[in-house]
Structure formats: C-alpha cells, structure tokens
Amino acid sequence: MGVAEVTFLYDKRVLALVKQIEALIMNNLLTRITQIPGQCGGRPCIRGMRIRVSDILEMLAENVSATEILEDFPDLELADIQACLLFAARRTDFPRLTA
C-alpha cells in the first residue's frame, strides 16, 4: 500500500470520526430544548426556563446579535442560542418530494 492510499484511508477514518463527534455535539445541543406541558403552552423552551425558542429565533431574525441576546437574558449561554438554531433547522428539514 502506497503513501497516497494510506493517507486516503486515514483521511476517510478521520472524517468519519469527525462526523460522529459532530452528531454527538448536535444531539447534546438539542437536550437544551425542553417542552413541558403547562409551561408556555407546551411550546419549546430553553432548559426548562420560560424563554421560548421562538422568541430567540425572532430576535435573531430581527438582526439582534447573539451578544445582545445574552446580555438581555443573563441565564442563557451561547450553546442555548445554537440549540435554538439547530432545533429550527431540524424542524424544517422536510423530505424532498419528487413527482
């Protein structure tokens, strides 16, 4: 086996490992999103607090920076904002329909 083949196999294994780590991080982020009946009408919130995912997403859509959001909500962490974005991305990832 030549250097090019070994490098290719190494790169392929590293890429697979990186993808596994990314999936674990993403799944861990989603644990920050909670839905509790009777709290905020059962809407998705952040870590059981009465801060709705939709409120954070709307603020981001209104061009409020993550830094400003964190200043306004001192109990939030940057990972909470990332979790909101990931939650929204997963909710809008519909299967592609073909005719």
Report pLDDT for 80.
Answer: 96
Render 26-73 in DSSP notation, one character per residue.
HHHHHTTEE--TTSGGG--EETTSS-BHHHHHHHHHTT--HHHHHHH-
Q: What is the pLDDT of residue 67?
A: 96
Domain extent, residue 68, equals: 3-91
Do the domain assignments include residue 39? yes
What is the pLDDT, as a whole number, of residue 92? 86
- What tens-digit pLDDT sequence spans the chain (99 residues)? 555 555 656 677 777 777 777 777 777 899 999 999 999 999 999 999 999 999 999 999 999 999 999 999 999 999 999 999 999 998 887 777 776
Position 35 in a domain: yes
Is 36 domain-assigned?
A: yes
Q: Decide if 99 is inside a domain.
A: no
Q: What pLDDT, on a 0 to 100 scale, did the predictor assign at position 41?
A: 94
Looking at the structure of the chain, the number of domains it has is 1
What pLDDT is attached to residue 2? 56
CATH number of the domain residue 9 falls in: 1.10.10.10
